[in-house]
Amino acid sequence: MLSISSESHDFGVRSNNEVVSTTFEILNSGEGNLEYSLNTNDDWISVDPKVGDSSGEADIITVEINTLGLSDGMHTGLITIESNGGEETFEVKVNVSSLAPPPDDGYISITFPKKLSFSCIKAEIKNADNETISRLNWTVDVTGGIFERVNKTTEGYIEAINSNETKEISTKIFIFDFKSKIFGLGKINVKIELTNKNVKTTASKECLVIGPIIYYCK
């Protein structure tokens, strides 16, 4: 029998160029194997995964919305869940406002250093929300350099970040690394992504690496 942990989510007031996500769970509360699929007719809503099965375990479904192109005002969408054990719907709401602050100036902001750093990528993460954010996952992708030889991905998380608190993340990766045959010279692109069940924020920066020294270009 098809069961879901929640029937709706309200993303609140968002700017008209923002990507945010939430999750809910699907599980089989009956016997046998439950096979299900998820669909939506709203192009500003996406779900992952779109198909699955459960013999009793809870499957996590990620719902992501993109407000780009949406007019100001309240928007409501539906995700239909069909299965061999029944049908359910998950309602999504968002109030789009062109006056709302953009993502990087709102709940979470990412600030790169104004000066150089040695052997690693650093950034400051600030929580401008009124509540503590728990388990904020971060990913740093570094690509580029001469012959595109610099290619590093580092992941980590911040256990909790209080309201108006700022914390630093650092990859602690040696860009100039002969053992990995990476020659640290030339322009590199740095992309930082922050995610949890309610937040998704990204920031990018073009930098210059000379040996182990990283210069954060404007």
- The pLDDT value given to residue 181: 39
- The pLDDT value given to residue 198: 65
pTM reported for the whole predicted model: 0.50
Phi, psi for residue 103 in degrees, rounded to 5: -55, -45
Distance CA 161, CA 142 (A): 25
Burial class (CB in 10 A: 0-12, 13-18, 19+), 154: middle
Per-residue pLDDT of the chain (218 residues; tens, 9 = 90+): 899 988 999 888 888 878 888 889 999 988 899 999 999 989 999 999 999 999 888 899 999 999 988 999 999 999 999 999 999 999 999 999 877 655 544 467 788 887 777 777 888 888 877 778 888 899 988 888 887 777 888 888 898 888 888 999 987 654 444 443 335 788 888 888 888 866 778 888 888 888 778 887 65
- The pLDDT value given to residue 100: 61
Output the 3-class SS for the chain.
Answer: CEEECCCEEEEEEECCCCEEEEEEEEEECCCCCEEEEEECCCCCEEEECCEEEECCCCEEEEEEEECCCCCCEEEEEEEEEEECCEEEEEEEEEEECCCCCCHHHCCEEEECCCCCEECCCEEEEEECCCCCEEEEEEEEEEEECHHHCEEEEEEEEEEEECCCCEEEEECCCCCCECCCCECCEEEEEEEEEEECCCCEEEEEEEEEEECCEEEECC
Domains of the chain: 2-96 (2.60.40.10), 103-216 (2.60.40.10)
Strand order in the sheet with 59-66: 2-4, 19-28, 59-66, 45-48
The two tokens of residue 75 are 């928007």
The two tokens of residue 49 are 């995964």
